[in-house]
Amino acid sequence: MKGGRDDLAGLLARYVPHVRIRMRYLSAPDGRQDALLCPNVNGGFTIVVDPRPSPRDPTGISSATLEPSFVRWRIAHELGHVFFYDDSRPARRWTTWSPTEEEWADSFARHLLDPEGAHRVP
């Protein structure tokens, strides 16, 4: 529903205007780049989301575009990475990337998208 709980990009645009969402094809050769968090020169971030299913996606989605729930997941996951940046312009990372950061971003996305059910997923 447009403008409701399921419209994460719309909610971000309205309430967190320093985070912008862009849909673009990303061309990582191994198919591992589903989305990017890009610090903007003048502050804030742009989250770039590839709308296509990932070739490594275990769900076996074969359509040309992702279902909205997968797009929301990618946006929420990348939004979790914001917490690893300082508030300079452009933002700089506090730490180097690690697998622990990916796990944290997954957990953040899970809690953001389903706060009541987040505890059910390990």
- Give residue limits of the domains in the chain: 8-114
Q: Distance between CA 97 and CA 81 in Å, rounded?
A: 10
List per-block mean pLDDT (blocks of 10 residues) for the chain, which spans 122 residues: 57 79 80 85 91 62 65 91 88 87 92 75 50
Cut 0.85: pTM above it? no
Q: Distance between CA 48 and CA 71 in Å, rounded?
A: 11
The whole-number pLDDT of residue 18 equals: 86
The whole-number pLDDT of residue 120 equals: 60
The whole-number pLDDT of residue 68 equals: 79
Residues ≥6 apart with Cβ < 8 Å to 52: 25, 64, 65, 66
DSSP state of 2: T
The whole-number pLDDT of residue 2 equals: 44
Q: Considering only CA atoms, which of 28, 26, 66 is closest in space to residue 48?
A: 26
For 46, list phi and psi in degrees, rounded to 5: -120, 130
Q: How far apart are the first and last CA of the chain?
A: 28
